[in-house]
């Protein structure tokens, strides 16, 4: 796309180049295509990973595929990485990777690769180890912060079995005015679902109090975690739920998006003005065959070039500002409903795969 933009006529270049850059900026201004050096490095890493996997050295092969994916994502690399994860017993990571390969292959019209990926997905589903977090009814009106292995757990995942790689996982729960609660869960390679019940949290005491802990191990069948060692609260107090912590973010995002659209429009208008000035110089003051101009023609072409450059800057700036506004608007937190157990979290991720740009979010 950008190669074609650079090789257009000087007068038309500002218009087309501005539209090309603005289109890319409105999707994701921070993402760029891998450089040739990155692609070469990714290819070397991929080839080395294949050799290590062929020798069954999967613990060494997986980091090679991961590094190649970071530099130059592609379906082939992701398929091999998912296979490597499966060989190491990381069933959830492998299952997720094969699902993504199947979706990308379907979008690209690659039926054989899609079929191969879906067969691997089906074979893994019966081996998945899952974790389900349950919350005590005593915590219904208390805003909680729940993390799993250091990452926030959104409210929508409460009560839902989530596939995770086998091994040890740490759950931590905190709430204002309450003692924190921690539990360690071990998921089995044989699969199955483990339920972790978050008990009522004890009121915070003066001085330093030990954190309530428990340890749960999974089995191939459904297992319910034992009651935590923390003492239940005798009279939990409802904590009022505040509104959005950033009420300014959504209005600012809308204003920035409008300003961006205006900037792009102004840039396109200046580009057309530049082309008009260039065409006018060819009518009486310049000779297209020899590309020679008199004094007036030179001035007109200079004016056309200046208008084109200003138009390009306005278009690019408008696209970047507009894209920032859209991101601000999409990620603006909403005011939680009264009685919500956990403050909802917003997440947005933009990435590049083998078929193009992807935008994923949870709001």
**pLDDT top residue among 7 and 175:** 175
Alpha helices, DSSP H only, in the chain?
Answer: 2-6, 13-27, 36-54, 58-71, 75-87, 91-107, 111-125, 249-284, 295-330
Q: Could you tell me if 325 and 261 are in contact, meaning their C-beta atoms sit under 8 angstroms apart? A: no
Q: Are 303 and 280 in contact (CB under 8 A)?
A: no
Distances (CA, A) of 21 to 18, 74, 272, 275: 5, 24, 17, 19
Residue 265 pLDDT exceeds 90: no
**What pLDDT, in 10s, does the model give residues 341-355?**
444 444 445 454 444
CA distance linking residue 42 with residue 22, whole number of Å = 29
* Number of neighbours of residue 186 by Cβ within 10 angstroms: 14
pLDDT of residue 280: 75
Q: Is the pLDDT of residue 324 over 60?
A: yes
Whether 214 is in a domain gets the answer no
Task: Find the CATH number of the domain harbouring 119.
Answer: 1.25.40.10
Inside any domain, residue 185 = no
- Judged by phi (left if over 0) then psi (alpha if -120 to 50, else beta), residue 338 lies in beta
Q: Is residue 293 part of a domain?
A: no
CA distances from 244 to 139, 253, 325, 346 (A): 21, 15, 18, 12
> Would 75 be classed as within a structural domain?
yes
Q: How many domains does the chain have?
A: 1
Q: Inter-axis angle of helices 13-27 and 249-284, to 10 degrees? A: 160
Q: With bands split at pLDDT 50, 70 and 90, how would you rate the model's confidence at 155?
A: confident
- Enter the DSSP assignment of 198: E
b/e per residue 244-270 (b: at least 16 CB within 10 A): eeeeeebeebeebbebbbebbebbbeb
Q: How far apart are CA 95 and CA 107, in angstroms?
A: 19
The pLDDT assigned to 101 comes to 96
- Least confidently predicted of 60-69, 191-200, 243-252: 243-252
Q: Can you read off the two tokens belonging to residue 39?
A: 């692609």
Q: Please check whether residue 4 lies inside any domain of the structure.
A: no
Average pLDDT, integer, range 48-62: 96
For residue 192, the cross-strand partners are 129
Residue 39 lies in a domain: yes
Is residue 15 in a domain?
Answer: no
Task: Name which of 87-96, 175-184, 333-342 the model is least confident about.
Answer: 333-342
Place of tokens 């490597």: 84
Given this model, what pLDDT does residue 23 score?
44
User: Do the domain assignments include residue 339?
Assistant: no
The domain containing residue 57 runs over which residues?
Answer: 31-125
Phi and psi (nearest 5°) for 272?
-65, -40
Indicate if the pLDDT at residue 230 is higher than 80.
Answer: no
């Amino acid at each position: 796309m950008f190669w074609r933009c650079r090789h257009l006529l000087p007068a038309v270049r500002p218009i087309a180049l501005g539209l090309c850059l603005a289109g890319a900026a409105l999707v994701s201004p921070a993402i760029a295509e891998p450089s040739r050096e990155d692609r070469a490095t990714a290819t070397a890493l991929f080839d080395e990973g294949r050799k290590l996997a062929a020798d069954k050295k999967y613990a060494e092969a997986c980091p090679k595929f991961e590094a190649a994916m970071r530099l130059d994502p592609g379906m082939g690399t992701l398929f091999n990485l998912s296979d490597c994860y499966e060989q190491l017993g990381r069933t959830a990571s492998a299952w997720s990777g094969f699902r993504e390969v199947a979706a990308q292959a379907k979008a690209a019209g690659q039926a054989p690769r899609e079929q191969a990926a879906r067969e691997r997905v089906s074979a893994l589903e019966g081996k998945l180890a899952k974790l389900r977090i349950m919350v005590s009814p005593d915590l219904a009106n208390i805003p909680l912060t729940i993390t799993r292995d250091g990452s926030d757990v959104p409210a929508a995942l409460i009560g839902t079995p989530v596939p995770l790689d086998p091994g040890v996982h740490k759950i931590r729960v905190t709430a204002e005015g309450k003692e924190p609660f921690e539990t360690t869960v071990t998921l089995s390679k044989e699969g199955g679902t483990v339920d972790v019940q978050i008990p009522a949290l004890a009121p915070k005491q003066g001085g330093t109090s030990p954190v309530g802990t428990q340890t749960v191990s999974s089995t191939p069948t459904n297992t319910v975690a034992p009651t935590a060692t923390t003492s239940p609260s005798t009279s939990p107090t409802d904590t009022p739920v505040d509104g959005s912590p950033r009420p300014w973010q959504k209005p600012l995002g809308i204003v920035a998006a409008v300003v961006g659209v205006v900037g792009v429009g102004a840039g396109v208008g200046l580009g057309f003005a530049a082309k008009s000035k260039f065409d006018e110089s060819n009518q009486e003051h310049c000779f297209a065959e020899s590309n020679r101009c008199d004094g007036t023609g030179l001035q007109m072409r200079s004016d056309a070039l200046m208008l084109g450059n200003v138009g390009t800057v306005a278009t690019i700036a408008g696209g970047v500002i507009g894209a920032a506004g859209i991101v601000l608007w999409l990620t603006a937190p909403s005011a939680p409903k009264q009685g919500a157990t956990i403050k909802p979290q917003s997440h947005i991720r933009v990435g590049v795969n083998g078929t193009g740009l992807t935008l994923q979010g949870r709001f």
